[in-house]
Amino acid sequence: MENKMLIFGHKNPDTDSICSSLVMEKFYKNLGFDVEAVRLGNVNKETEYVLNYLGILLPREIQKVEEGQKVVLVDHNEFNQSAEGIESATIEAVIDHHRIANFQTKDPLYYRAEPVGCTSTILYKKFKEENMAIEKREAILMLSAIVSDTLLFKSPTCTQEDKNACEELAKISGIDINSYGLEMLKAGTDLNDFTPEQLINLDAKSLSKGNTKYVIAQVNTVAIEDVLKREEEIKEAIKKEISENGLDLFVFVITDILNSNSEIIAIRK
Ligand code: MG
Ligand code: MG
Ligand code: MG
């Protein structure tokens, strides 16, 4: 087992999961902790754009954690979205902006949940509360996460706090939110290389309510009709996913990030 704390976001990591892990790594290092940001799976093209922009190497990938491993969860709390073995890890802290479910610990922990649009908005506040200077690298990481999770402030989950944090981070980093944000979002919408199976798993969340197991997956695009050209193949992939994983429902959301429209393909068992 590694002695240092491992920090990670959810499986199928999105930009918030990766960026918030890296920012928390910096936060803890500033306080003298031995920590490492890691990831639970491949990063998407949008996140790749951010890491390339900053010249940051990909965090190390892990699949599971050993019993007693000290971990910090960002951008998720539900065990089914976390690392294998999470039930017996020592969860030191959670910083998240999602509902709390399927979550339980043996020991006391630091838990910070706020109903804002992005984990990085909470991290921005943590830096402020600690009077910790925010450097350009972390400012760009947090700004990228906020732009990603709020789709440039257009998503219904976006709050005034997300906007305020992002504007402060833009000042610190000297970045134009709109032009950088649009390039970043567009980088993530290049879907041509993906098979239907990959498409429906790009940003897929496994959820359960009572005995119902379901998945909500989303892809962002600048042209919904391009994705719908592959509707039949996508439906086949969804049906396969449902039967292979014993799901009751699969909801696939295709979102036009420029016009904030979505088309939904939902299939029941
Ligand atoms: Mg996320
Ligand atoms: Mg998030
Ligand atoms: Mg998301």
Residue-wise pLDDT tens digits, 136-163 = 999 999 999 999 999 999 889 999 999 9
pLDDT of residue 260: 81
- HSE of 149 in the Cβ direction (CA atoms, 13 Å)? 32
Kindly list the domain boundaries of the chain, sorted by start residue.
5-185, 196-268
pLDDT of residue 265: 97
The class of domain 5-185 in CATH terms is alpha beta
Q: How far apart are the CA of 149 and the centre of ligand 3, in A?
A: 6
Q: In whole angstroms, give the CA distance from residue 269 to residue 249.
A: 6
pLDDT of residue 259: 82
Q: How far apart are the CA of 13 and the centre of ligand 1, in A?
A: 7
Q: How far apart are the CA of 10 and the centre of ligand 2, in A?
A: 9
Contacts of 93 (CB under 8 A, 6+ apart): 72, 73, 109, 110, 111, 112
Higher per-residue pLDDT: 11 or 2:
11
Q: How far apart are the CA of 60 and the centre of ligand 3, in A?
A: 21
Q: How far apart are the CA of 97 and the centre of ligand 2, in A?
A: 7
Q: How far apart are the CA of 38 and the centre of ligand 1, in A?
A: 15
Q: How far apart are the CA of 203 and the centre of ligand 3, in A?
A: 7
Higher per-residue pLDDT: 220 or 137:
137
Say whether pLDDT at 81 is over 80. yes
Q: How far apart are the CA of 133 and the centre of ligand 3, in A?
A: 28
Contacts of 222 (CB under 8 A, 6+ apart): 186, 189, 256, 257, 258
Say whether pLDDT at 21 is over 90. yes
Structure tokens at 47: 């996140």
pLDDT band at residue 2 using 50, 70 and 90 as cut-offs: confident
Report, as an integer, the average pLDDT of 76-89: 97
Burial of 197 (0-12, 13-18, 19+ CB in 10 A): middle
Whole-number average pLDDT of the chain: 95
Report, as an integer, the average pLDDT of 103-127: 97
DSSP 221-236: ES-HHHHHTTHHHHHH
The CATH number given to 196-268 is 3.10.310.20
Report, as an integer, the average pLDDT of 213-224: 92
Q: How far apart are the CA of 54 and the centre of ligand 3, in A?
A: 21
